């Protein structure tokens, strides 16, 4: 079958594949903190802002102290040393902000005169900034001072006062005059020059804002976290970076998601091998083998070991229906396991002391308990009589040994919940590592039933490039 994928088809193919990379199939439990921090801050013209910023729709744990944002009437604001600043721009790539004094916005006569101040552990001035000094309520002893601008009028608290600006941050020589108040406000150097050439106004220069660098020492950690599919956060009580993942927080990054031969969630069936579909049921990643659901506890692609536990026996030794553990031997083999047989509905024990391997069930919520036992080759037990149902469930060798101790060092429930290992057959993904090395993503062609290496240009039979050249 030789046919070329149309560019459109290829594009949608690749889109589906790249989308599926972001679907954490193994991570089923939804951590609300992950969901909350995945919401960006959006206000006015400021969009898509995340860590280290928080506020409004983003909880405190999505950001760091000092980086709280507000949104008032569609105006994004940040407070630094008790003063509110209007945010004109945020560039997370280079960690810069452009802010303007909110109290001076469209108004050079505020009711309070407060200097611009920064917390230098978090922020610093960008280059290309000039400090203006604004003087209010001045009296000159021997005529106007040359560095001062011409006078402006201000009405502050219903009182008319004069107002001057100076293109530097200066203090006034007390021999020349005195002013009631002064404020230092940084502006961009180009705004200062425009002011000097009368091509802007003092209000225009101030409203143009000034540049800041913000210091976020966790930005490298954050990109590692984001690459692993997490959302950056911060533990305020412990003052340390936290990576919120779909299922739980991690110190650095989210655990790697299962890849080929596993598939599921939003992934299409050509992303994995038949029989390896993992779907979320409630909070658990679930794999179905021969109609029985298994909770996936671990996947090691290097050793091809899958750790699973019977979902129907999860946190119970008395499931509603009793079904056998049947493993598809063309896909899996047991690794390092021992069979435990659960005997249900047996005669009551003879002695007064119940044997350690006995357990009770109240079937379907009935009031009368049934007597049940578990046995294994290592568990030496007296004759338990004839029981109605036997179910074989594999457990790990170490769990079997713990159950065999007298008294047992773990409960039957714990042994079942610890799960058991399955080894998947190597021919299922034998070609995968060379495909990945050649820059491809492993997949499967359901119609031909063969391994497929999806590459940027087209799918190949084993590796990207023209080595094998088989088109889908
Ligand atoms: C500056 O920021 C640091 C870090 O958040 C904080 O510990 C400190 O209290 C801040 N200083 C002021 C004056 O706000
Ligand atoms: C402006 O003044 C502040 C103090 O208010 C100072 O930290 C800063 O270095 C000054 N910047 C320039 C460019 O003069
Ligand atoms: C300021 O007010 C004075 C009188 O109150 C007036 O003579 C002057 O023209 C005003 N200056 C400006 C720039 O409006
Ligand atoms: C204006 O009045 C407010 C409130 O009465 C006061 O806090 C402020 O200091 C006054 N401003 C000036 C410049 O006197
Ligand atoms: C004025 O600016 C200079 C840098 O040009 C700075 O070193 C100084 O601290 C500033 N002085 C005041 C009073 O803000
Ligand atoms: C700007 O205007 C002021 C008066 O409004 C004047 O004194 C000054 O010379 C002007 N500057 C330039 C560069 O034109
Ligand atoms: C912060 O750390 C403490 C102690 O490890 C933990 O109890 C708490 O849940 C953590 N908070 C967040 C938001 O991760
Ligand atoms: C897979 O198993 C090998 C050998 O036991 C181990 O070195 C490796 O860390 C495991 N990988 C994962 C992701 O657990
Ligand atoms: C186990 O089951 C009991 C009762 O059915 C329940 O109270 C408990 O929360 C369950 N524990 C877990 C970890 O699911
Ligand atoms: C466990 O029992 C199954 C039959 O249910 C059998 O196929 C398998 O080989 C047994 N495994 C071990 C380790 O004895
Ligand atoms: C529970 O009830 C169902 C029918 O409702 C029955 O099929 C099943 O065998 C019962 N389970 C047990 C352990 O008796
Ligand atoms: C296959 O790849 C090799 C080396 O990359 C190149 O020399 C050759 O021309 C390619 N053949 C085709 C048919 O594209």
pLDDT digit string, tens, across residues 396-424 = 999 999 999 888 899 999 999 989 999 99
Using the atom order of ligand 8, give the atom closest to the CA of residue 302: 1
CA atoms within a 13 Å half-sphere pointing along the CA-CB vector of 299: 22
Q: Judge whether residue 5 has pLDDT over 80.
A: no
CA 230 to CA 220: how far, in whole Å? 13
Our CA angle for 324, 327, 329, nearest 5°, is 145
pLDDT confidence band for 258 (50 / 70 / 90): low
Say what the pLDDT of residue 329 is: 87
Say what the pLDDT of residue 204 is: 92
Buried residues in 444-467 as b, exposed as e (16+ CB within 10 A): beeeeeebbbbbeebbbbbbbeee
Say what the pLDDT of residue 176 is: 81
Ligand 10 near 392 CB (within 6 A) = yes
Q: How deeply is 66 buried, as exposed, middle or buried, from its count of CB atoms within 10 A (0-12, 13-18, 19+)?
A: middle
Q: Whose CA is nearest to atom 3 of ligand 2?
A: 131
Mean pLDDT over 269-276 rounds to 90
Q: What percent of the chain clears pLDDT 90, i.e. is strictly above it?
A: 44
CA 68 to CA 52: how far, in whole Å? 9
Say what the pLDDT of residue 312 is: 93
Q: Are 313 and 393 in contact (CB under 8 A)?
A: yes
Instruction: Give the phi and the psi of residue 25 in degrees, each rounded to 5.
Output: -75, -30
Our CA angle for 241, 244, 248, nearest 5°, is 125
CB under 6 Å to ligand 7: residues? 61, 235, 237-238, 242, 249
Q: Which listed ligand is nearest to 303 at the C-alpha?
A: 8
Pocket test for ligand 7, best of 33, 218, 238 (most atoms within 8 A of CB): 238
Q: Whose CA is nearest to atom 10 of ligand 5?
A: 169
A 10 A CB-CB count for 236 gives: 13
Quick: pLDDT tens for 202-255.
Answer: 999 999 999 999 988 888 889 888 888 889 999 999 888 988 988 778 777 776
User: Cα(455) to centroid of ligand 2, in Å?
Assistant: 54
Q: Which listed ligand is nearest to 103 at the C-alpha?
A: 4
Mean pLDDT over 43-63 rounds to 93
Say what the pLDDT of residue 28 is: 62
User: Cα(77) to centroid of ligand 7, in Å?
Assistant: 28
Mean pLDDT over 441-452 rounds to 92
Distance (Å) of CA 371 to CA 106, 317, 368, 429: 82, 12, 10, 45
Q: Are 65 and 39 in contact (CB under 8 A)?
A: no
User: In terms of Cα–Cα distance, which of 323, 336, 249, 247 is closest to 292?
Assistant: 323
Ligand 6 near 150 CB (within 6 A) = yes
Q: Where are the domains of the chain?
A: 1-26+261-273+429-472, 68-214, 278-425
Q: Judge whether residue 6 has pLDDT over 70.
A: no
Say what the pLDDT of residue 257 is: 59
User: Cα(103) to centroid of ligand 4, in Å?
Assistant: 13
Using the atom order of ligand 3, give the atom closest to the CA of residue 151: 13
User: Cα(209) to centroid of ligand 3, in Å?
Assistant: 27
Token digits of residue 212: 């800041």
Q: Whose CA is nearest to atom 13 of ligand 10?
A: 338
Buried residues in 178-197 as b, exposed as e (16+ CB within 10 A): ebeebbbbbbbeebbebbee
Q: Whose CA is nearest to atom 14 of ligand 11?
A: 363
Say what the pLDDT of residue 253 is: 74
Q: Judge whether residue 20 has pLDDT over 60.
A: no
CA atoms within a 13 Å half-sphere pointing along the CA-CB vector of 318: 14
Token digits of residue 165: 């600006």
Q: Whose CA is nearest to atom 5 of ligand 7?
A: 238
Pocket test for ligand 11, best of 316, 362, 363 (most atoms within 8 A of CB): 363
Say what the pLDDT of residue 377 is: 86
pLDDT confidence band for 11 (50 / 70 / 90): very low
Q: Strands 337-346 and 450-454, how do they pair?
A: unpaired
Q: Which listed ligand is nearest to 109 at the C-alpha?
A: 4
Residue 60 DSSP symbol: G
Q: Are 366 and 399 in contact (CB under 8 A)?
A: no
Beta strand residue intervals within 379-427, DSSP E: 389-396, 420-424
Q: How deeply is 28 buried, as exposed, middle or buried, from its count of CB atoms within 10 A (0-12, 13-18, 19+)?
A: buried
Q: Whose CA is nearest to atom 8 of ligand 7?
A: 235
Quick: pLDDT tens for 93-135.
Answer: 899 999 999 999 998 888 888 888 888 999 999 999 999 989 8
Ligand 6 near 74 CB (within 6 A) = no
Placement of tokens 């039957």 in the chain: 412
Ligand 4 near 112 CB (within 6 A) = yes
Q: Judge whether residue 471 has pLDDT over 60.
A: no
Q: Are 140 and 209 in contact (CB under 8 A)?
A: no
Q: Are 53 and 41 in contact (CB under 8 A)?
A: yes
Give the global pTM: 0.57
Say what the pLDDT of residue 255 is: 64
pLDDT confidence band for 286 (50 / 70 / 90): confident
User: Cα(315) to centroid of ligand 9, in Å?
Assistant: 6
Token digits of residue 143: 């005529």
- Min mean pLDDT across 3-7, 17-21, 83-87, 265-269 is at 17-21
Pocket test for ligand 2, best of 169, 187, 189 (most atoms within 8 A of CB): 169
Ligand 10 near 396 CB (within 6 A) = no
Q: Judge whether residue 373 has pLDDT over 90.
A: yes
Mean pLDDT over 71-90 rounds to 94
Q: Is the dihedral of CA 84, 85, 90, 93 positive or negative?
A: negative
Q: Which of 225-229, 261-265, 357-361 has the highest mean pLDDT?
A: 357-361
């Amino acid at each position: 079958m030789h046919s070329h994928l149309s560019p459109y088809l290829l594009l949608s193919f690749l889109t589906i594949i790249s989308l599926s990379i972001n679907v954490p199939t193994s991570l089923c439990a939804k951590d609300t903190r992950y969901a909350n921090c995945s919401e960006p801050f959006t206000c006015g013209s400021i969009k898509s802002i995340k860590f280290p910023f928080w506020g409004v729709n983003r909880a405190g744990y999505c950001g760091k102290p000092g980086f709280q944002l507000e949104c008032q009437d569609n105006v994004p604001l940040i407070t630094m040393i008790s003063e509110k600043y209007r945010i004109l721009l945020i560039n997370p790539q280079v960690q810069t902000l452009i802010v303007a004094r909110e109290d001076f916005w469209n108004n050079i006569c505020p009711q309070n005169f407060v200097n611009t101040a920064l917390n230098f552990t978090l922020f610093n001035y960008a280059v290309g900034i000039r400090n203006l000094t604004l003087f209010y309520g001045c009296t000159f002893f021997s005529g106007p001072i040359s560095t001062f601008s011409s006078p402006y009028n201000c009405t502050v608290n219903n009182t008319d006062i004069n107002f001057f600006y100076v293109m530097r941050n200066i203090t006034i020589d007390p021999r020349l005059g005195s002013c009631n108040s002064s404020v230092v406000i940084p502006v961009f150097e180009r705004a200062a020059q425009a002011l000097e050439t009368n091509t802007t106004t003092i209000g225009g220069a101030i409203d143009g804002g000034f540049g800041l660098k913000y210091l976020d020492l966790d930005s490298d950690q954050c990109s590692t976290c984001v690459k692993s599919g997490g959302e950056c956060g911060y533990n305020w009580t412990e003052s340390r970076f936290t990576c919120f993942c779909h299922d739980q927080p991690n110190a650095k990054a989210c655990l790697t998601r299962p890849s080929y031969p596993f598939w599921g969630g939003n992934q299409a069936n050509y992303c994995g091998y038949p029989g390896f579909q993992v779907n979320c049921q409630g909070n658990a990643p679930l794999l179905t083998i021969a109609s029985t659901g298994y909770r996936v506890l671990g996947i090691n692609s290097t050793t091809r070991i899958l750790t699973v536990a019977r979902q129907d026996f999860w946190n119970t030794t008395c499931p509603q229906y009793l079904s056998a553990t049947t493993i598809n031997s063309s896909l899996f083999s047991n690794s390092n396991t021992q069979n435990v047989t659960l005997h249900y509905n047996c005669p009551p024990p003879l002695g007064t002391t119940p044997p350690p391997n006995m357990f009770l069930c109240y079937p379907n919520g009935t009031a009368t308990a049934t007597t049940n036992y578990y046995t294994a080759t290592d568990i030496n037990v007296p004759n338990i009589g004839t029981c109605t149902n036997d179910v074989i469930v594999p457990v790990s060798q170490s769990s079997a040994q713990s159950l065999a101790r007298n008294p047992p060092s773990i409960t039957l429930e714990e042994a079942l919940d610890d799960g058991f290992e399955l080894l998947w057959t190597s021919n299922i993904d034998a070609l995968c590592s060379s495909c990945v090395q050649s820059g491809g993503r492993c997949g499967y062609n359901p119609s031909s039933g063969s391994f497929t290496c999806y590459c940027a240009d087209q799918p190949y039979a084993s590796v990207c490039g023209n080595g094998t050249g088989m088109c889908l």
